[in-house]
Amino acid sequence: MDKEILTTAEAAKILGVSVRTAQLLIEGGSIPSWKTPGGHRRVYRRDVLGVISGPGQTPMFASARVIVIARAERIADYEAVLAKVNYCVVESYTDIYAALLAIGSRLPAAVVIEAEQSGASGLAVLESLRSDPALGRTQILVVGHPAAAERQIGAVGLDTGMTRFIGGLPALPEAIKAAIRGAVEHPVPFETPPSFPFPDNEGQRLLALERSGLVDTPPEDAFDRLTWLAARSLDAPVALLTLLTPTRQWFKSRYGLDMVETPRGWAFCNYTILQKGIMVAENLATDQRFAENPAVSGELGFRFYAGCPVVDPDGFTLGSLCVIDTRPRTLDATQKQILANLAALASDEIKLRATDRQLRWAIEHETPKSGAASAPGLAGTKRVPENQ
């Protein structure tokens, strides 16, 4: 008989992921657990099986993406309201079929639809979403007058467990936050409160970082070009592409700095990942958040920092692209735009790698046709879970 109570390693084997990924799922609350008197975590088999998404037994991971489908004249209103939700990436569409393609490529945390979208087109979207069983954890939020929203939901028989109507735009941010948090009540993967700030979805963010496979990998030209450009374009002696693990700030790329990592508590980027835009500290020595930081008060003597979040395909912030100087200064609007664009290029590189892994996994696991050979060059490719 299969064991009902499992160790972390046994849970990892069932899920087809590394032990570290299983630890993040467990410590982040995605899989309920408890500790033995000896301090070891244990989980129930049924809870492990509960995060498996389908016949292929691939874990269903979280997302921080939000898809908005609205009329062109309302898109700006939705984006302005959702700008208040820091831990999500919003993709807006006026074309229904483009939105459905985006939803199908990588499952979002939520899909927002205007109830005012009447007629066959609006109902077709809802019907398409209703008929896709893979969207079991994606919240569909219908915004508008409750009566109109209920009519549309009822007209296509949408599952009310995955569909909610929102009375108006002011209520949308809280609904989005709930969709991103999901059912995880304790998403913080720290045994004791750390000395640094962290996002509300830190457990999910760390799991996304683990899935990226970037930490502790060799330097790469694709990222080194970006830190070089950042340093030279912004006249900064130091430029970094940082990744924030539970305990470390690790540099995937660095220009002008010999260190390969610092303790997580040293990371100015802890504040950058709390927001969507650029974070600037013009004088670190007089900023109460950083004045006692060893990178400021010690031999490094840093005085200026500007960073922009770098995100993965599912909208989670893995770290930042940042520039640092040893003198107080600021950035003008053009310089901020340069940094934002370079950070976007870093995000795009990470997204391309994830898409490539997903494609390779799909090719390898495609049911072979009679007499067909397996795809060359893919032998030994590890299984890649959904949304990886």
Say how many C-beta atoms besides its own lie within 10 A of residue 261's C-beta: 18
Q: Beta-carbon neighbour count of residue 345 at 10 Å?
A: 17
CA distance 337 to 340: 5
Name residue 141's beta-bridge partners.
112, 164
User: What pLDDT was estimated at residue 369?
Assistant: 46
pLDDT of residue 383: 37
99 φ, ψ to 5°?
A: -65, -45
What is the pLDDT at residue 317? 95
pLDDT of residue 122: 64
What is the reported pLDDT for 46? 78
DSSP string, 80-107: HHHTT-TT-EEEEESSHHHHHHHHHHS-
Q: pLDDT tens for residues 321-340? A: 999 999 999 999 999 999 99
β-strand 41-44 against 34-35: which pairing, if any?
Answer: antiparallel
Structure tokens at 221: 């030209």
How far apart CA 283 and CA 303 sit, in angstroms, is 5
pLDDT for 233 equals 97
Q: What is the predicted pLDDT for the residue at 155?
A: 60
Query: How is the beta sheet containing 317-325 ordered, strand by strand?
Result: 261-263, 248-255, 238-244, 317-325, 304-311, 279-281
The structure tokens listed for 330 are 């600021």
Per-residue pLDDT, 372: 43
pLDDT < 50: residue spans in the chain: 1, 53-59, 118, 183-187, 367, 369-388
Distance CA 75, CA 285 (A): 41
The fold of 202-355 is Beta-Lactamase (3.30.450)
Closest Cα partner for 35 from 3, 1, 5? 5
Per the listing, tokens 């940042």 go with 322
Neighbours of 9 (CB within 10 A): 10
Please write the tens of the pLDDT for every residue from 93-129: 998 889 888 888 888 989 998 876 545 566 667 677 7
Helix (H, G, I), strand (E, B) or coil at 266: helix
Q: Give the CATH superfamily of 65-181.
A: Response regulator (3.40.50.2300)
Q: Would you call 378 helix, strand, or coil by DSSP?
A: coil
CATH tag for 5-49 (out of 2.40.50.220, 1.10.3720.10, 1.10.1660.10, 3.20.20.140): 1.10.1660.10
Q: Are 374 and 366 in contact (CB under 8 A)?
A: no
Contact 364/374 with Cβ under 8 angstroms? yes
Say which residues have a Cβ less than 8 Å from residue 283's Cβ, sequence separation at least 6.
Answer: 303, 304, 328
Token pair of 66, please?
């939000």
* Residues 138, 141, 147, 152, CA torsion sign: negative
pLDDT of residue 56: 42
What are the extents of the domains in the chain?
5-49, 65-181, 202-355
The pLDDT of residue 376 is: 38
Q: What are phi and psi of 271, to 5 degrees?
A: -85, -30
